[in-house]
Structure 1
Amino acid sequence: MQNFRRWRRRNQTLRLRHKDMTHRRGRCRQVVILAATLVGFLSGAQSQLQAGRSYVPSMAPHPAIETVPGELLVRYRLPTMPIEIGQGDQHSLLVQRRQVLTTEASRLTQTIPIEVTASYPLVGMQRLTVTGRASVPEVIAQLAADQAVELVEPNYKVHAFEAPRPIEPNDLAWPTLWAMKQIHTPQAWQQTTGSHEVIVAVIDTGVDYTHRDLAANMWHNAKELPNGQDDDGNGIVDDVHGARFCGGDAGGDPRDGQGHGTHVAGTIAAVGNNRHDVAGVAWSVRIMALKFLCEDGSGSTADAIRAIEYALVNGAHIINASWGGRARSRALEEAVREADRRGVLFVAAAGNEGMNNDVVPSFPASYPIPNVLTVAATDWNDELAEFSNFGIRSVHLAAPGVSILSTMPDNRLAFMNGTSMATPHVTGCAVLVKSGHPGLQGRDLRKMLLGSGDSIKGLKGVIQDGLRMNCGKAVQKARPD
C-alpha cells in the first residue's frame, strides 16, 4: 500500500505531463481493448502471476483515437419516448421516429454533402458518409450549426487486443473453476441457478450458439424463422439468436469466429450440472448474441449503438460490454442512457492497460450513468490483476479475471485473462439476483450487487469501496424476508 501511495503522489505530476508517461510492459496495441488476453494452461498462467507480490501500478501513454474514414454519427432533437409503453405503442413511436429521421436527412442532404447509410430510430441517430471532396471536420461543423441536430461526431473505430491462442486442455472438471468458488456461487446456487425469463445481451464478437454447453441457453427470436426471409420485418434476415452488425453490414448470423464473445457467454451462462465442459454463473438464462466486433476483433461505435438498440427493442434486461476505448463518444453515451431509461443494467469491463480510469477514462465503462457497473479483475490472491485498470471513483467492483476457463467456438474450451473475463462473472450474478426479483430495474440491481461485495484489503484505495463481488451474499440479500 505504501508503494501505491507513492505512485499516487507521483501520478499528480503525471497528470500534467502526459507526454512523459512511459509504456508499461505489455501495453495495449490499439484504441479499444477487448479487455482480454489469452494464456496457456493454468499451470503456465501461475508462473506469470507471482503469489504475494505487491501491486505497483504503472501508467501508459494515451492510446491513439482512430475513426472510420468519412463516417459520422448524428443525433436529432426528438421528443422523449415513454418507458412504460406497450408493444403496439412502441411500434407506433418507432415509426414516427423513422419518419422524422427520414425528413431531417432529406432536408440536410440537399445542402450538406452527406449520405445516410443506416438509421437507429430508438436513439434518434443516423450513420452518415461524407460524399464528394468535403472533409469530415467541415461536415461536422455544418451539421453542428443546424438547430435540429443535437450531436454529431466521427464514427470511432475499435478493435480487439489479445495474445496468441493457447493449447487447449482435454481434462476439465469443476475444481478448475477457481473463480466460481471465490465469488461464492455454490452458496448462490443453493437459492437459484437462474431463469430463462432473464435475457442478457452479449455485445461482443458474437457467440457460438451451437456450443453444447450454450445451445440450451440461447435467446430465440420467436418472430423469426431460419428461412432466408425477414419474418419479423425488422430489416434483418434470419436473426434467430441475435444479429450481426460489422462494418455497417447488418445480418442475422451472430456466430463467433474469434472466440472472445463465446468465452464471455460461457462464464455467464454455460449450462451447469450436465457433465459437459464448464458451468456458468447462471445455469438458466437466455443469451442474445450481438456481434459488432468482426473476425479481426474490430468494430465501431456506430455498430455498438446498433447492437444496443437491437438489445433494447428485443427486451434485454442486462447488457455485457467486455470492451472499451479512450474516445468519449457522446452518441454511444446516449445509447447507454437509453438503456438506463429502460431499466437495463449495463455491465462494462474496466480495461486491461493497468491504468487509472479516474485520470484517463475508458468508455463505456467511465460514463457517469446510474446503470453502468464497471468491473476490475482480481487474481487467486484477491489482489488486483497486474493488467487491470482501476480507479477509486470510476471502477465500482472487482471479480476474478485471471486464468478463467470457459467455452470457445466449435465445442472447445480455453483459459483467458482480462477484465473481459471478470465482467461476465458480475453479469451472471446479476442474472441470479434478477431471477428472484423480475421487477428489479438496472439501477436497483446494480445497487444490490455493490451492497453485497466483500471488502478486500488489497483493493482499498484502488477501486471504489475496495469490493470484490460475493454472489452468494448478493442472492441471499435479495431473498424476501
Structure 2
Amino acid sequence: MKFRLFNAAASHSVARSAAFPVALAVALSAALLSCSRADIDLPAPEKPALGEDVIRGELLIRFDPGVADILDKSGLTKSGPASVSDRCTITSVDEVLSLVDGYTIERVFPYDSHNEQKTRNDGLHLWYHVSFSEDAPMEEVISRLSLLGEVSAVNCNRRLRKAYSGKSIPFRPLPLTKAGGGIFNDELLPFQWNLVNRGDLGPSKFVAGADVNAEKAWELCTGDPSVIVAVLDEGVDFTHPDLQGAMWVNEDEIWRSSEDNDGNGYPGDVHGYNFVADSPLISVQDVNDTGHGSHVAGVIGAVNGNGLGISSIAGGDGISPGVRIMSCQIFSGNKGGSVLDEVRAIKYAADNGATVLQCSWGYTSGTANGFDWVPMYSTDESWMKDCDLERKALDYFIHNAGSADGVVEGGIAVFAGGNESAPSAGYPGAYKDFIAVAATAADWTPAVYTNYGTGTTVSAPGGDQDYYYEYAGELERGALGCILSTLPFSVSPEGYGYMEGTSMACPHVSGVVALGLSYSAKLRRHVKASDVIRLLCETCTPVEQFWNTDEPKLYYKYVADLGLNHLSSMNLESYRGKMGYGQVDAYAFLQAIGAAGERMTFPNVLVAPGESRTFDAALYFDSPERVNVKLADGSVAVADVSSGKISFTGLAEGQTRASATDGTSSFDFVITVRTGSSSQGWL
C-alpha cells in the first residue's frame, strides 16, 4: 500500500498534506529573555506562517534545562494526559500564556517511574504540550514564547495525514490447486510468493526464489515471544484468528481498566495503546479504516501452523509461539494522528519492551516529482532542523530499547522508503541510523512506484499491481502480484486481502529482523542493534544480477484523467546499484547473526525493598523449568522460581551473592537491595 505523509506548509493548496514541527525561532540571551516582550526594546518578531496541517490551539515547547528544578518542585513533572495542569509555574511563560484564557499544560511523555532516568538523560522530560482555544491568537503566542530564555524551542503540533488510496483487494476463496508452499499447513501460504516463491503463480513475472528466503530460515528458527515488534500504524485487529495469538500482552495491566495499574503512564494498555484517541482500546472498526495495521502485522507475525489463513515471517511453528505484536495506533479512519501521538508511541514502544519499530509511513522524498507531489526533506540536516522532537524520540528508541542484559542492546527502526518513484528515500527512514526499505516485484525487479537511490538501505517484496495487471483469473487484476496478509473482517469478508507499496516491503524487513533476534534468543546470544543492521545489509542478495536490462520493464499505468490503463515502461538500468544493499535474505541473515554477539549471562540484580524484579529464565538457561537459585545470605532478598520466571523481592537494604543453575549452565551474580532503585531516584 502506498503510504506517505505530505507537507501542507509547502503548498496550502495541497489538501493531502501534513508536516511535523518546525523550529520557529531562536532564543536570545538568558539575561533578557526572562522578561516579557513588553519589557524589552526590540522589534516585534515576525509572526510565523501556519500551514493547514497545524492543529490550532496546540503547541509543543521545550523548556531550557536551567528551569528543570522549577518544573520538578512545582509537580509539573508528574503531569500527563491523565493529569493536565492549568498553570506552568514559570512566571514568564504564564505571562505569555495569559494571552489565552483557560490554557492547560502537560508533559509530552507521561511520567513513568521505571524509565524516568532514561527520559531525563535524553532531555525528553523538558518537552511539554500546551493546549488552548483554537480561536486564540496562536501566532502571537508562538512569537512571544520564542523570545523567552526559559523556552528553547516552540513547535506546532501538526496532523499526520495518510496519503494513500486506502484500497485493498479482498481475498476470495479460490480452488487451492497449488502445491504446498512450505513447511506450514496454513492454507494460503501457496499464494504468498513474498515468503516462498516457487515461480508457479504465473509466467515469467513470477521467478522462483524471488522472496525473502523464509523457508530456509524457518529450518533455523520460526520466532520467539521474547521479541516484540511495535507496529506504528492503524490499529491491529487483536481479535483476528490469525493475529490473536501473536499479540503482545502487558501482564501487569487490566483489560479495559481506567487505572494505570503498571505505572507506565498509560491505563489499560493490554495490547498496546490508541494514541489517536488517548485510549487503551485499539480500534479497527471505523468506516474509513483500511486494515493497514493488521495487514502489516500479519506479514510479521501472524500465527504459523494453525491450519488457516496465511503464514508469516516470524509467527512460530504452530507449537512454539512466534514474536509478539504491540499495536501503537497513530492513525484511525480519516483521523490522522498528530506528531504528539507519534512521539509518544515511539517512546512507549521503547519503554515497554519493543526492540523493532515498524513504521510504514514517512515524508515525501525531497527528490519527488513536484508536479505530482510536494517534495520535502533531502538531507539529514533539513529533517533534523524541522523535526527536532521526532528525531529525539527516535534517538531515544534506538539508544534505549532492548537491554544490555537481554537479546539486543538498542532498537532497530524500520521505515517505508516511499512510493513516488523518486531517486531518494523519504525521511525519517533515509536518516543514517534507520532502515529505509525499497519495494520489489516477484521477479526481483524494482516495483514501478518505489523510491530508490540515496538513503535507501535495503529492498524487500512490496508487490506491484500495475506490473501484474494482465493476471486476473478469479481475482482483481494484478492482485496475485501484491502482498497477501490479514485484514479485519470489516474490511475483507474473508479476513485476508492484498496490498502493495513500500509500506508492505517495510514489514518484511521488520519481520526478518525480528526473526534474527529470535534466533539470537534461541542461541542465548546478546547482540547490539548496530551489528544487527550491519549484518542485515551484508547478507542481502543484490537484485541487479537477475535483471534483463536489454529490454525495459513494461507495466500498465492507470491514468486518472482518462480512467484507463496504458502500457508504460521503466528503465531498469537507472536503478542499478540504487536498491540499497539488495533484497533481504532471512536465511543468510540468521546464519550471520547466529555467529555474532556473545553468550548471555545472568545479570546482577538491583531491586528496592518491598518490590520485585522478574527475569525470563529461558533467555539464560536451556532448561528454564529446572532452574534453582541459591542466595548466600537471604536476609536482604528472597528468590522465587516458577513458570519459567525468576523473581527477586527486596527485604532490606544491602547486598548478597547468589547463584543459579539448571544443571547444565551456572551463573554467579550479586543482588543489591537499595531504596529508590525502581524509581531511579525521581520521586
Same fold (TM over 0.5): yes
Q: Distance in 2 between matches of 1:469 and 1:480?
A: 18
Correspondence 1:235-274 to 2 at 5 A: 235-246=265-276, 249-257=277-285, 258=289, 259-274=291-306
Match of 2:59 among 65, 72, 78: 72
Instruction: Work out the CA distance in 1 between the residues paired with 2:579 and 2:241.
Output: 37
Q: Which residue of 2 aligns with 1:199?
A: 228
The two structures, once aligned, show a CA RMSD in angstroms of: 2.9
Shift in Å, 1:149: 3.1
Q: CA 1:363 to 1:192, structure 2 compared with 1: closer, same or farther past 3 Å? A: same
Q: CA deviation at 1:145?
A: 3.1
Q: Which runs of 5+ in 2 are unaligned?
A: 1-9, 20-50, 67-71, 98-102, 111-118, 175-186, 197-210, 316-321, 365-375, 377-382, 401-409, 464-481, 545-571, 597-683
- Counterpart of 2:104 in structure 1 is 115
Report the alpha carbon displacement of residue 151 of structure 1 after superposing the two structures with TM.
2.7
1:412 aligns with 2:474: no
Is the 2:60–2:129 contact (alpha carbons within 8 Å) kept by the matching residues of 1?
A: yes
Structure 2 Cα separation of the partners of residues 222 and 374 of structure 1: 33
Q: Assess, with a 3 A threshold, how the Cα gap between structure 1 residues 433 and 165 changes in structure 2: closer, same or farther.
A: closer
> CA distance change for structure 1 residues 150 and 268 in 2, over 3 Å: closer, same or farther?
farther
2:299 is paired with a residue of what secondary structure? Answer: helix
How do residues 291-306 of structure 1 correspond to structure 2 at under 5 angstroms? 291-296=329-334, 298-306=336-344
1:447 and 2:534 matched: yes
Change (3 A) 1:99 1:242: closer
More helix by share: 1
> What secondary structure, in the 3-state scheme, does the structure 1 residue paired with 2:332 have?
coil
* TM-fit CA distance, 1:73: 1.7
Equivalent in the alignment of 2:326: 288
Give the aligned residue type for 1:442: A
Gaps of 5+ in 1: 1-17, 20-26, 33-63, 80-91
Go from structure 1 to structure 2 and tell me whether the alpha carbon gap of 1:78 and 1:460 turns closer, same or farther (over 3 Å shift). Answer: farther
Q: TM-score, normalised by structure 1?
A: 0.77
Shift of 1:130: 4.5
In the alignment, the residues of structure 1 paired with residue 335 and residue 417 of structure 2 have an alpha-carbon distance, to the nearest angstrom, of 18
Does residue 472 (structure 1) correspond to residue 619 (structure 2)? The answer is no
AA matched with 1:479: G
User: Please, which of 506, 531, 534 is the counterpart of residue 423 of structure 1?
Assistant: 506
Asked if 1:345 is matched to 2:412, the reply is yes
Partners of 2:105 and 2:86 lie apart in 1 by 12
Q: How does 1:457-468 map to 2 (within 5 A)?
A: 457=544, 459-465=575-581, 467-468=582-583
1:46-125 correspondence to structure 2 within 5 Å: 66-78=53-65, 98=78, 105-107=88-90, 109-113=93-97, 115-116=104-105, 119-121=108-110, 122=119, 123-124=124-125, 125=127
| Residue 389 (structure 1) aligns with | 451
The more displaced of 125-134 and 381-390 is: 125-134
Q: Does residue 430 of structure 2 align to residue 366 of structure 1?
A: yes
Structure 1: 4+ residue segments shifted above 6 A: 99-104
Superposed CA offset, 1:434-456 (max 9, x none): 11225323222111111110112
C-alpha separation between the residues in 2 aligned to 1:304 and 1:264? 17
| CA positional deviation for 1:268 | 0.3
Measured in 2, the distance between the counterparts of 1:280 and 1:335 equals 29
One-letter amino acid of the counterpart of residue 365, structure 1: G
Moved more, 105-114 or 402-411: 105-114
In the alignment, what sits opposite 1:174? 189
Indicate conservation of the 8 Å contact 1:333/1:367, yes or no: no
Q: Give the CA deviation at 1:384.
A: 1.5
Give the counterpart of 1:380 among 442, 446, 452.
442
Q: Deviations over 1:424-470 (max 9, x none)?
A: 000010011111225323222111111110112154342334x1111
Contact 2:214 2:313 in 1 (8 A): yes
Q: Please identify the structure whose Cα radius of gyration is greater.
A: 2
> Deviation per CA, 1:178-197, whole angstroms, max 9, x where unpaired?
01131101111110001000
Query: What's 2:424 paired with?
Result: 357
Q: Cα gap change, 1:217/1:333 in structure 2, threshold over 3 Å: closer, same or farther?
A: same
Q: Is the 8 A contact 2:161 2:337 kept in 1?
A: yes
Q: TM-score, with normalisation over the residues of structure 2?
A: 0.55
Moved more, 382-391 or 212-221: 382-391
> How far did 1:415 drift?
0.3
Which of residues 208, 214, 239 is equivalent to 1:210?
Answer: 239
Helix, strand or coil: the match of 2:224? strand
Within the candidate set 533, 543, 550, 1:456 is matched to 543
Q: Give, in whole Å, the separation in 1 of the partners of 2:501 and 2:422.
A: 14
Relative distance call for 1:315 and 1:149 in structure 2 (3 A) is farther
CA shift digits 1:202-234 (9 cap, x unpaired): 011110011111111110011111153312244
Using a 3 Å threshold, how does the CA distance of structure 1 residues 332 and 164 change in structure 2: closer, same or farther? Answer: same
Q: Which moved more, 1:381-390 or 1:225-234?
A: 225-234
Aligned-partner Cα distance in 2 for 1:178–1:215: 24
Q: Is the 8 A contact 1:205 1:297 kept in 2?
A: no
Q: Give the deviation of 1:310 after TM superposition.
A: 1.2
For residues 96 and 167 of structure 1, do their structure 2 counterparts lie closer, same or farther at Cα, with a shift above 3 Å needed?
closer
CA distance in structure 2 between the partners assigned to 1:99 and 1:407 by the alignment: 38
Q: CA 1:398/1:129 → structure 2, altered by over 3 Å: closer, same or farther?
A: same
Moved more, 317-326 or 123-132: 123-132
Does the Cα contact within 8 Å between 1:345 and 1:441 map onto a contact in 2?
no
Query: Where does residue 307 of structure 2 map in the other structure?
Result: 275
Q: 1:246-287: CA deviations, max 9, x gaps?
A: 1xx311112323200000000000111221100111010111
**% same residue:** 29
Quote the Cα distance in structure 1 between the aligned partners of 2:338 and 2:580.
29
**What is the identity, as a one-letter code, of the residue corresponding to 2:96?**
I
1:399 aligned to 446, 451, 460, which one?
A: 460
Residue 15 (structure 1) aligns with: none
Give a deviation string over 1:323-350, Cα, whole Å, max 9, x none.
1125642211110011122111100111
Three-state SS of the structure 2 residue aligned to 1:70 is strand
Check whether the contact 2:159–2:336 (CA below 8 A) recurs between aligned residues: yes
Distance across 1 between alignment mates of 2:79 and 2:244:
38
Measured in 2, the distance between the counterparts of 1:188 and 1:134 equals: 58
Contact 1:130 1:139 in 2 (8 A): no
Answer whether contact 2:537 2:584 (CA < 8 A) is retained: yes
In structure 1, what is the Cα distance between the partners aligned to 2:140 and 2:422? 34
Indicate conservation of the 8 Å contact 1:109/1:115, yes or no. no
* 1:9-42 C-alpha deviation (Å, 9 max, x unpaired): xxxxxxxxx99xxxxxxx994448xxxxxxxxxx
Compared CA separation, residues 229 and 167, structure 1 to 2 (3 A): closer
In structure 2, C-alpha distance between the alignment counterparts of 1:102 and 1:341, rounded to whole Å: 30
Match of 2:647 in 1: none
One-letter code aligned to 2:449: F
Change (3 A) 1:357 1:478: same
| Residues 1:165 and 1:433: Cα distance change in structure 2 (over 3 Å) | closer
Distance 1:65 1:187, change over 3 A: farther
Contact 1:28–1:353, Cα closer than 8 Å, also in 2:
no
Stretch deviating more after TM superposition (275-284 or 227-236): 227-236
Farther-moved stretch of structure 1 (467-476 vs 117-126): 117-126
Question: What displacement does 1:309 show?
Answer: 1.7
